[in-house]
Amino acid sequence: MPSDEDVFWMRRALRLTNRVKTHPSPGVGAVVVKAGKLISEGWTYSTPKVHAEAMALRLAGERARGATLYTTLEPCSHWQRPDGSERTPCTHHCTQAGIVRVVAATLDSNPQVSGEGFAQLEAAGVALTVGVCEEQAKEAHRAFLKHQRTGMPYVTHKAAMTLDGKLAASHAAPLAITSEPARRAVHRLRAKSDAVIVGVGTVLADDPELTVRLVRGTSPTPVIFDSMLRTPQSAKLNRPGTLILTCQQATASQGWDAELITLPADESGRVSVAVALAVLAERGLLDVLLESGGALAAAFHAALAVDRCLFFLAPKLIGGAHAPTPLDGPGLPTLIALESLRVRRYGPDIALEGKLLR
């Protein structure tokens, strides 16, 4: 069992994870501790690229000699970036700084590291403790770890609905179903996501912006699934930075500000979910938020592409046999179970979150 002190400092390091968007790199947190006192702390930056361990050790300076480094992921060990440029690994920073002990939450599944970081530290005489708060660290780095394991992004299906399971009324203009506290929670989720996905039906019905507005943060990359290219060029999402995934050929000279990506159709004639997610992963968009209507969401679930569901339920009723629901269409081929269920309250609304049981 880890000591109470190790758990205390690792929890502090975990609070430093994902402070900024760093994908495809993991948003690691690190703290340097000596004689039971905090010396420095750091977190991963992407521009300029600085790893959490390197930041914490630079801030510690000479005070790092004889200290312990707590990090939420195995320190990197490779001297070369994927593009071939040189870099200094965090294992080297540790040994040069005089760190005598490293406490890491979990293994880095990147094949360039994957145990090599630990091996280098042990070879240099650094004491090593691994597995402190491991499950919390795996959750913090879930998108990175899934991508390393499968090459695909981590997908959260978010929906806001009435107590009778309706996303909107079938006979009226769009309604604000959830309360402002719940909407702020959604915007915080957007601010942490690399991309947010909708279908062309949502674009035609709501003309959304998909930006972060109610909290501080960076807006995610908007992605539209639009097999037949029905998105109007007047849509708010037809702007630089938006990706429109389609099965139709189009050229930039046709007046699009968004980037059109032509992909092969699946057996139903629509954009293939698996192919589309692979394209997003290649672009470093690893933490993906699915905010689509029920038809596209059902396609994602049928493709076993969803990792987590986050459903907001408002104490309201709409009714209507044809009102949209979170999963529309003919139904899924099999029952999908969720585990690790969490329940939270946002004003009058309730949020249910669970991971899909595979």
Q: What local confidence, expressed as pLDDT, does residue 171 receive?
A: 61
Query: 233 lies in a domain?
Result: yes
Q: What local confidence, expressed as pLDDT, does residue 98 receive?
A: 93
Query: 170 lies in a domain?
Result: yes
CATH of residue 89's domain is: 3.40.140.10
- Asked if 187 and 68 sit in the same domain, the reply is no
- Asked if 103 and 162 sit in the same domain, the reply is no
**Contact at 8 Å (CB) between 342 and 327?**
no
Query: What backbone torsions phi and psi does residue 42 show, to the nearest 5 degrees?
Result: -155, 165
Distance CA 272, CA 45 (A): 33
Q: What local confidence, expressed as pLDDT, does residue 250 receive?
A: 72
Distance CA 277, CA 215 (A): 27
Question: Model pTM?
Answer: 0.89
- Asked if 228 and 316 sit in the same domain, the reply is yes
- Asked if 112 and 220 sit in the same domain, the reply is no
pLDDT means per 10 residues, the chain with 358 residues, are 92 93 89 95 83 93 96 85 72 93 90 83 93 95 93 97 87 78 96 96 93 93 96 95 91 80 91 96 96 94 96 93 87 88 96 92
Distance CA 98, CA 90 (A): 12
Query: Is position 53 annotated as part of the catalytic site?
Result: yes
- Asked if 52 and 165 sit in the same domain, the reply is no
Identity of the residue numbered 197: I
Of 80, 108, 141, the last residue of a domain is 141
Distance CA 106, CA 355 (A): 20
Q: DSSP for 130-163?
A: E-TTHHHHHHHTHHHHHHHHHSS-EEEEEEEEET
Catalytic residue among 5, 41, 53, 122: 53
- Asked if 214 and 338 sit in the same domain, the reply is yes
Query: What backbone torsions phi and psi does residue 50 show, to the nearest 5 degrees?
Result: -135, 125
- Asked if 158 and 289 sit in the same domain, the reply is yes
Q: How many domains does the chain have?
A: 2
Q: What local confidence, expressed as pLDDT, does residue 184 receive?
A: 96
Structural domain of 262: 151-356
Q: From the CA atom positions of the chain, what is the Rg in Å?
A: 23
Of 141, 171, 198, the last residue of a domain is 141
Query: 146 lies in a domain?
Result: no
- Asked if 243 and 331 sit in the same domain, the reply is yes
Q: In what order do the strands lie in the sheet with 308-314?
A: 259-262, 243-246, 221-225, 195-199, 287-290, 154-162, 308-314, 349-356, 338-346
CATH of residue 180's domain is: 3.40.430.10
- Asked if 237 and 303 sit in the same domain, the reply is yes
Query: 117 lies in a domain?
Result: yes
Distance CA 118, CA 90 (A): 11
- Asked if 48 and 102 sit in the same domain, the reply is yes
- Asked if 160 and 134 sit in the same domain, the reply is no
Q: Roughly what angle, to the nearest 10 degrees, separates helices 90-97 and 52-60?
A: 20
Of 122, 141, 160, the last residue of a domain is 141
- Asked if 269 and 165 sit in the same domain, the reply is yes
